[in-house]
Structure 1
Amino acid sequence: MTKRSIAINLNLDEQNLQAIQEVVPGWDIYIGKDIAEEKLNKAEILVHWRESQADKYVKSNNLKWVQSWSAGVDYIDLDHLKKNDIYLTSANGVHAFPISETIFAYMLGFTRLIHTYIKQQQEKKWHHANLNGEIHGKTISIIGVGKIGKETAKIAQAFNMKVLGVRHSGKNVDYVDEMYTPDDLKHVLEQSDFVVVTLPLTNETRHMFGKEQFNQMKDSAFFVNIGRGPIVDEKALITALQQKEIAGAGLDVFESEPLQSDSPLWEMDNVIITPHSAGATEYYTNRVIQDIFIPNLKTYLDKGAPSINVFQHNLGY
């Protein structure tokens, strides 16, 4: 009888490997960034879908469950998984602390001109740069109030900010003062000093932010996108920034990545760019393995299906 197996498509430390082995002592566990195609095809469970090897995964008839290493799963062949009844679970929730910290790094960078002062430091230039901004008492809107959005709202309350939230269900969430649905987006944007996008990419959210939405924002408002690049019409964003329809943007994600070297965004003084790194943290691996994968693995063995962060094809997330 063929042994059941897990393919973990990255290098894993001994502590986390041992924790997995204790749950499935009789299984083969394959580890590494370049697992042989033969082993990939044997695997019943795959941890971390690598785009460069996607053509190998679809050949496997044994695959029953994929644990994504990211919260976003739009890069995975979702149609193949749905057609073959393969479970998909994401790393949603792992990023709440580092991404919320990044969001406030952008916001504080803008209001306290940190990005400006860093440039001046490199030039040995002593200049006040007309510093006068604060985030205390301002209004922040969080578009997509999941775990990241909730943590962002919690921190915002510490700055005495008014927190507006937008989520599909419209259900209230702790730390959010007023919750709305996407149908109320115009009303939310008109009130906001900071607009933070934490949405997944779906058919409904693609180009959710374009010319119309930037026109609805205050010309003093800052826009932050740490969700997915295609949620924003990048040309419309560039125009809004160039024409000062909004005050600035903090961007971790882009329509095309890496961001092309000829993009005007690189040269804009009112833009802070990070290379899709907002979720990076020293605790990433432990959180995915210990908080999501191992509990899901136990449930999978017991009930035949994982239960945490299971992708819903009908919802797109």
Structure 2
Amino acid sequence: MGIAAETLTVGVATPLSEELCALIESLEPRVQLIRDQSLLPPMRFTADYAGDPDFRRTPQQQSQFMQLLNSADALYGIPDLSTPLLKEVVQQNDGLRWVQTMAAGGGAQIREAGFTRHELDRVAFTTSAGVHGGPLAEFALFGLLAASKSLPRLLRQSQAHEWSERWPMAQLSDQTILLLGLGGIGSALAEKLSALGVHVIGMSRRGETVPGVAEIIEPHNLPAAIQRADAIVVSLPGTPRTEKLVDAEFLTMVKPGVTVVNVGRGSVIDEQALIAALEDGRVGFAALDVVETEPLVESSPLWEMDNVLLSPHTAALSYAQEEQIARLFARNASAFLDGRALRNVVDTVHFY
């Protein structure tokens, strides 16, 4: 969705440094970023789009913030990462035509906002998909290597000062790895795994060819692929169609000791079923950057399992992320202004 226009007024709704504001405006001079840094929460770390949780606007500042957002043709970010506030802006600002979310999985935020069909048709919502692919692919590879090279045992023995007898370690080059999701993350991982000699199977509804994937399977052939896989990597978005795809029935089909990695959404895996499979050995190791409920509840058995590697949904963050999203936005802004199709538009039927 693009609308040919001479200029584009963009309300900065999320923390964005003046340096990156200047970068966007230099890359696309037809963009005017309207912002007031005093109205935005300071970042605590790179790509901290929520900002300092102690930040508060006065009533006057909140009114100024809303006026700024309601005067924009487009928004850079979801204001305060608040879907109710985003919905309020969309309802009040009849001129709003485009919202750029910071998350690769921004579709879930758009679904959560509960927009009407008219609002979804009027405003284009785009995500930062592709920016996070490299970091998440590396974390997935790290999880696969951690399982193959006995990381839990090495850590236990190191902590116990135990120099044991030798044992053979698995090699990724001998393995068949199933990728559930062949978007930016899955595609980046497939190339890395293929370079290591891994036989990569990828599930796709569209059957497209992906570099590094030796076999493309359709969903109806998934059971046979599950049984062959030495490891399974999930990078699927969270949608009603993918919810608890990896469930108890799925986990009855795996090879004993299979590795499971999740760098997609926690909702794709039935967590209780995964815990049961980790306890009885059907799953030998799990590397999880996401879980069903975040933060992970204190009572979860996952905390205590030494065959689980937990990351607090941080594997996507990199020092380059803020600039990469800014550059992506500038490219999309050019497309918008020229009337060309935007990249990473949220599917407002399935919300991914």
Same fold (TM over 0.5): yes
**Relative contact order (alpha carbons < 8 A, sep ≥ 6): 1 or 2 greater?**
2
Residues 267 and 50 from structure 1, CA distance in 2 versus in 1: closer, same or farther, beyond 3 angstroms? Answer: farther
How many residues matched? 313
Matched to 1:316, the amino acid is: F
Question: 1:246: Cα distance to partner?
Answer: 1.7
In the other structure, the counterpart of 1:308 is: 343
Query: Which residue of the other structure, out of 84, 105, 122, is the alignment partner of 1:72?
Result: 105
Deviations 1:252-280 (A, max 9, x none): 11110011111001111111110111211
1:297: Cα distance to partner? 0.5
| 1:182 aligned partner | 219
Matching residue within 221, 234, 246 for 2:283: 246
CA contact (8 A) 1:40 1:56 kept: no
Q: 1:212 is matched by which residue type in structure 2?
A: E
Percent identity reads 29
2:121 pairs with 1:116: no
Residue 75 of structure 1: CA displacement? 2.5
- TM-align CA RMSD: 2.2
Q: Which of 83, 89, 112 lines up with 1:54 in the alignment?
A: 83
Deviations 1:24-74 (A, max 9, x none): 557352155347233233332112225653333222232321111111121
Gapped regions of structure 1 (runs ≥ 5)? none
Please list every run of 5 or more consecutive structure 2 residues that lacks an aligned counterpart in the other structure: 1-6, 42-61
Distance apart, 1:21 and its partner CA: 2.4
What residue is the counterpart of 2:24 in the other structure?
A: 20
* Residue 6 of structure 1: aligned partner: 10
Is 1:96 paired with 2:141?
no
Distance (Å, rounded) in 2 between the aligned partners of 1:102 and 1:27: 37
Question: 1: distance between equivalents of 2:31 and 2:127?
Answer: 25
Q: Take 1:7 and 1:137, find their aligned partners in 2: how far apart are those partners?
A: 51
- 1:200 partnered with 2:205: no
Corresponding residue of 2:67: 38
1:270 equivalent in alignment to 2:275: no
2:330 is the alignment partner of 1:294 = yes
Structure-2 separation of matches of 1:51 and 1:241: 38
Residues 117, 312 of structure 1: alpha-carbon distance in 2 compared, 3 angstrom cutoff: same
Corresponding residue number in structure 1 for 2:252 = 215
Does 2:106 match 1:106?
no
TM-score by length of 2: 0.82
CA contact (8 A) 1:139 1:193 kept: yes
Correspondence for 1:140 among 158, 177, 183: 177
Q: Deviations over 1:219-262 (max 9, x none)?
A: 12101111100111111111111111221211111110011111
Greater shift in the superposed pair: 264-273 or 43-52: 43-52
* Residue identity opposite 1:37 in structure 2: M
1:69·1:288 contact (CA, 8 Å) conserved in 2? yes
Equivalent residues of 1:81, 1:87 under 8 A apart? no
CA displacement 1:192-215 (0-9 Å, x = unmatched): 001001111111101111001111
The more displaced of 169-178 and 6-15 is 6-15
